[in-house]
Chain A
Amino acid sequence: MSEKVLLVDDEKEFLEIMSERMEARGMEVTTAESAQKALSIIETNTFDAIVMDFQMPEIDGMEALKAIKTKKPELQIILLTGYASVEKTVEAMKVGATDFLEKPADIAALEEKIKKAKAEKMLIVEKQSEDKIKDILQRHGV
């Protein structure tokens, strides 16, 4: 089954070419030119991973990361960044980023990280389902 990815970057040309290459590798890609648009897209769509530029207009990468994680905690976010400082990386990981990749990125490395993120998400979703079932059973005294 193909990976469903939301690609977020304020560089339109980057979105076009990157999504073309990702689709050629069998991924299903949706694009957003801002974190604001990404936040609205995730309201009605599910993704295996979000690949997002860390520095964009409107909402700062860290703010966007927090907002996405608040709305959909199970979503796996891979950050693309021009320059990844250790402090920023640690901060983003604490907030819930799954992984980091520096621009220009190697598509094979990105593909691998997306697959890993999908597996991670599936585990979280399974755990959430198990917890829900346990909760229902407990409420019914089973």
Chain B
Amino acid sequence: MNKKDTSTQTNFLSDGATLFFGKMSASTTHEIKNSLAIINENAGLLSDLAQLTKNGHSLSPEKVDNISEKIQKQVQRTDLILKKLNRFSHSVDGFSVDCLKTDSLNSNRLNTEGHRTENSEELINLPEALNFIIDLSSRLIQRSECIIKVKTATVPVIISSQLFYVQYLIWRVIESMCYYGGKKDQISISFDTSEESSSIWFESNLTEESVFKEILETHQDKALIDHLKVLVKKNNSVLGLIWPKTI
């Protein structure tokens, strides 16, 4: 790959990564806004009730308790969403901003001058990464009316890679299957590990073969696949992401 090609690839990778980050942030912050709206209305209701008591109406302690519980529930919900968002934001820790811009695609272990370094790779528990992305994007998945079933891995499925990009790749498969596959799509996800590789398998009930063929075929997707050095296998309506252990 010449320098120009590498630069184009890097641009595709950074554009896609930015879109992914934006999409996850927008979805989670929307959820926070919803939660704040409920807190706001409950506080408003307390204020309405206070006004009524000033005008001589009696106030039921049970009603106040009930409102207080609702506020606490929403505060806990917001806290959980923020924890998830914080965890997601930290998944880019370990590589500098320049990593997204420089020609680091073919240089897995460069120096600290803005390139990806050895430290940026970490051991990733694939089922954990998958469940986290499903959880983080639950609102988006719900909007697409897609049903996702994850088969629990019986043994640890560990890879060495960059967490942020692995999450991005997992999301791209889910997004493609859920959004382009049509409503009420069902995806079954399972894992596999052997001495040679660790893999994650997505099985969809997509009926249109042409749609399935389009999955992970954009320039951004290809740049991401190259960057992660992952193998993609498609067979009928099954898609596998395979991380060879020899690399």
A9-53 CB mask vs B (1 if < 8 Å, else 0) is 001011001101100100000000000000000000000000000
The answer to whether A83 and B145 have CB atoms under 8 Å apart is: no
Stretch at the interface among A66-74, A92-100, A101-109, A133-141: A101-109
Q: How large is the interface on A (under 10, 10 to 19, 20 to 34, 35 or more residues)?
A: 20 to 34
Residue of B nearest to A14 (CB): B38
Contacts of A60 in B (CB 8 A): 143
Chain A residues numbered 41-93 whose CB sits less than 8 Å from any CB in chain B: 55-58, 60, 80, 82-83
Contacts of A18 in B (CB 8 A): 41
Q: How far is the CA of A11 from the CA of B26 in the complex (A)?
A: 17
Cβ distance B28 to chain A, nearest Cβ, rounded Å: 11
Stretch at the interface among B29-37, B165-173, B198-206: B29-37
The answer to whether A82 and B33 have CB atoms under 8 Å apart is: yes
The answer to whether B30 and A107 have CB atoms under 8 Å apart is: no
Residue of A nearest to B34 (CB): A11
Contacts of B48 in A (CB 8 A): 21, 24
The answer to whether B70 and A13 have CB atoms under 8 Å apart is: yes
The answer to whether B37 and A104 have CB atoms under 8 Å apart is: yes
Q: How far is the CA of A24 from the CA of B45 in the complex (A)?
A: 10
The B interface, classified by DSSP as helix, strand, loop or mixed, is helix
Q: How far is the CA of A6 from the CA of B36 in the complex (A)?
A: 22
Q: How far is the CA of A14 from the CA of B30 in the complex (A)?
A: 14
The answer to whether A104 and B41 have CB atoms under 8 Å apart is: yes
Q: How far is the CA of A11 from the CA of B74 in the complex (A)?
A: 12
B31-72 CB mask vs A (1 if < 8 Å, else 0) is 001101111111011001000000000000000000000100
- How many residues in B have their beta carbons less than 8 Å from beta carbons of A? 20
Q: Which of A20, A55, A104 contacts B45 (CB 8 A)?
A: A20
The answer to whether B34 and A57 have CB atoms under 8 Å apart is: no
The answer to whether B41 and A55 have CB atoms under 8 Å apart is: no
Q: How far is the CA of A58 from the CA of B184 in the complex (A)?
A: 10
Contacts A57-B145, A83-B30 known; A13 to B45 CB distance under 8 Å? no
B142 interfacial by beta-carbon distance below 8 Å: yes
Contacts A55-B30, A82-B29, A103-B34 known; A17 to B41 CB distance under 8 Å? yes
Contacts A21-B48, A57-B143 known; A14 to B37 CB distance under 8 Å? yes
Cβ distance A16 to chain B, nearest Cβ, rounded Å: 9
Q: How far is the CA of A55 from the CA of B26 in the complex (A)?
A: 11
The answer to whether B145 and A17 have CB atoms under 8 Å apart is: no
Q: How far is the CA of A57 from the CA of B40 in the complex (A)?
A: 23
Contacts of A21 in B (CB 8 A): 41, 44-45, 48
Residue of A nearest to B36 (CB): A104
Chain A residues numbered 95-126 whose CB sits less than 8 Å from any CB in chain B: 103-105, 107
The answer to whether B142 and A57 have CB atoms under 8 Å apart is: yes
Interface residues of B (CB under 8 A from A): 26, 29-30, 33-34, 36-42, 44-45, 48, 70, 74, 142-143, 145
Cβ contacts A to B, 7 pairs, < 8 Å: A11-B37, A13-B70, A17-B45, A60-B143, A83-B26, A103-B33, A107-B41
